[in-house]
Amino acid sequence: MAPREIVVRVNGEEYRGSAEPRVTLVDFLRDELGLTGTHVGCEHGVCGACTILMDGRTVRSCLMLAVQAEGHELRTVEGLAPADGPLHPIQEAFSEKHGLQCGFCTPGFLMTVEELLRDDPDPSEETIRSRLSGNICRCTGYQNIVEAVRYAAELTREAAP
């Protein structure tokens, strides 16, 4: 099928690219736009490594086609903190609390947590575990990830007026 031009806003910037209609959004982000911070772990929506935000809500970018993102506002891990600026509180918390080892799953977790903390600025452990249960981490056993989310919530609340 012939490639189509696709215009999306990613991390506040307008991107133009072209992709055949069958190309997944994650492949488009990685291969066409060069945004390789979003990872592909299972290609069918189970592991959550490819989680990004579309219009503020989490989506599995491996389960969407690039053409479906046309006209939407996307946010990826690269857009969490300004380049050369301070880390986003969630990034800071994951670094500080050892919420990662190999780090391959991390961008997907960070985007899931971004949505979680917007929905619930002070989540219980149960809520955290439940909301993260669609993201697989093979290295950490999740304990430090849960710690990191609690700490990120604390940092976010402190930063809020």
Partner 1 sequence: MSATTERPRLAVGRIGERLPREDAVPKVTGEFSYASDLSTPGMLWGDTLRSPHAHARVVSIDVTAALGLPGIHGALTHEDVPGKKLYGLEFADQPVLAIDRVRYVGEPVALVVAEHPEQARRALEAIVVEYEPLEPVVDMERALEQEPLHPDRPTMGHGYRDDRRPNVVRHLVIRHGDPDIAGDVVVTGTYELGIQDQAFLGPESGLAIPDGEGGVDIHVATQWLHVDRDQVAPCLDLRPEQVRLHLSGVGGSFGGREDLSMQIHSALLALHTGRPVKMVYDRAESFTGHVHRHPARIRCEHRATRDGRLTSVRMQILLDGGAYASSSTAVASNAASFGLGPYRVDNALIETTAVYTNNPPCGAMRGFGAVQTCFAAEAQMDQLAAELGLDPVELRLLNALEPGDSLPTGQVIEGSLPTREVIRRAAALPVPDQETLPRDPLRLPGGTGNTTTGEGIRRGVGFALGFKNICYSEGFDDFCAARVVLHADGSAVVHSAAAEVGQGVVGVMLQVARTELGTDEVTLAPHTTATVGSAGSTSASRMTWMAAGAVRDACRAALEERERRGGGEVDVERVHRHPRTTPLDPETGQITGERAHVALAVAAMRVVVEVDVELGLTRVVWVGTAQDVGKAVNPLALEGQIEGGTAQGLGLALMEEIVTRNGAIQNASFTDYLIPTALDMPPVEIELVEVPEPDAPYGVKGVGEPPTVVSTAAIVSAMRAATGRPLTRAPVRPDDICL
Q: Least distance in Å: CB of 53 to partner 1?
A: 14
The residue range among 53-61, 99-107, 114-122, 153-161 that interacts with partner 1, by the rule CB under 8 A, is 99-107
State the DSSP string of the chain: ---EEEEEEETTEEEEEEE-TT-BHHHIIIIIS--TTS--SSSSSSS-TTEEEETTEEEETTSSBGGGGTT-EEE-GGGSS-TTSPPPHHHHHHHHTT--SS-SSHHHHHHHHHHHHHH-SS--HHHHHHHHTTS--SSS-SHHHHHHHHHHHHHHHHH--
User: CB-wise, 71 or 122, nearer to partner 1?
Assistant: 122
Q: Least distance in Å: CB of 161 to partner 1?
A: 25
Q: Least distance in Å: CB of 35 to partner 1?
A: 8
- Residues 108-127 touching partner 1, rule: CB under 8 A, are 110, 126
Question: Looking at this protein, which amino acid is placed at residue 75?
Answer: R
- Residues 59-78 touching partner 1, rule: CB under 8 A, are 76-78
Binding residue (CB under 8 A) for partner 1 from 91, 113, 116, 155: 91
Q: Does 134 bind partner 1 (CB under 8 A)?
A: yes
Binding residue (CB under 8 A) for partner 1 from 140, 153, 155, 156: 140
Instruction: Retrieve residue 43's tokens.
Output: 């290609």
Q: Does 154 bind partner 1 (CB under 8 A)?
A: no
User: CA-CA distance, 108 to 110, in Å (whole number)?
Assistant: 5
Q: Does 38 bind partner 1 (CB under 8 A)?
A: yes
| Helices 89-96 and 106-119: angle between axes, nearest 10 degrees | 120
Enumerate binding residues for partner 1 (CB under 8 A): 30, 35-44, 46-47, 49, 76-78, 80-81, 87, 91, 94-96, 98, 100-107, 110, 126, 128-130, 132-146
